[in-house]
Amino acid sequence: MTRRRWIADEVSGNTAALIGAHADHLIRVLRARVGQEFDISVGPTVRRGRIVAIAELRVEFALEEEVSTAAVPNITLLLAIFKFDRMEWAIEKCTELGVSRIVPVIARRTDPRLATAAAKRAERWRKIAVQAAEQSRRASPPEISDPIKLKDAISFAGALRIVLSESEQKTQLRDTLALPQTDEEILLAIGPEGGWVDDELELFRNAGWVAASLGPTILRAETAAIAATAVFVSELN
């Protein structure tokens, strides 16, 4: 039977703990009891953990042998900020697929109210990523940075840098898979609702990014993020 995986809130030597609401879910919903075993993620590694103590909003584990884990593709998703409910869906699913980093980006067509509220939303996005990482048995959640402006995101370096553009006529996303690939970071930029404006695409081109399309249909931002991530993860695996 596959053991459920948890990402530890506290780690000290050969002990770890879940705290707060994280622990409360294990205690009340899953009815944790002393002696139960789970996989516990402790930074870059995962170890077998046995519950040794249960208290109010706290579950403590004795850490035992290391558990093998799958490598996470080195994919950074530059995700232009869009409606929060749909953006949370994209973060959850792209975490399950295996991205290593998500960078929320303020683009020209990002709703100003969403741009203002995004900084306070980042912590919720990180919690969603932790839950999705546990559900999908990742060793750790993706890094989710604070929101940044597009001009700062464009300068990120990587072995392959692709901006999805619905106006791109020649290059399909699948065509970029033939480009040289290494273990270095791959960057994938997804636009907001309404897409990138022309001068933003010009900034990408001038910085050396490759523009690509997912096909002739117009996809919602969250659909494009999930579909593009799935294409690359499948290829890298």
**For position 70, what pLDDT does the model report?**
73
In the chain, list all ranges with CATH 3.40.1280.10. Answer: 75-236
Domain range 5-67, its CATH number among 3.40.630.10, 3.30.420.10, 1.20.120.80, 2.40.240.20: 2.40.240.20
Sequence letter at residue 111: D
Q: Please give the pLDDT value at position 219.
A: 87
Q: Which residue has the tokens 């117009």?
A: 218
Please report how the helices 84-97 and 112-135 are oriented relative to each other, as an axis angle in degrees rounded to 10.
30
Tokens of 11: 């780690």
As averages over each run of 10 residues, the pLDDT of the chain (237 residues) reads 84 93 89 92 89 93 87 88 96 95 96 94 95 90 95 89 86 72 80 93 94 87 94 80
Q: How far apart are CA 120 and CA 176, in angstroms?
A: 35
Phi/psi at 147 (5° precision): -60, 145
What's the Rg (C-alpha) of the chain?
20
* Other Cβ atoms within 10 Å of 17 Cβ, number: 20
Neighbours of 199 (CB within 10 A): 8
Predicted local distance difference test score (pLDDT) of residue 178: 60
Instruction: Please give the pLDDT value at position 2.
Output: 72
If we measure between CA atoms, which residue out of 61, 141, 63, 49 comes closest to residue 95?
Answer: 141
Instruction: Tell me the C-alpha to C-alpha distance, in Å, between residue 66 and each of 38, 71, 133, 150.
Output: 12, 15, 18, 40
- H helices present in 34-186, as ranges: 84-97, 112-135, 150-153, 173-176
Q: Which residues make up the CATH 2.40.240.20 domain(s) of the chain?
A: 5-67
Fold exhibited by the domain 75-236: Alpha/beta knot (3.40.1280)
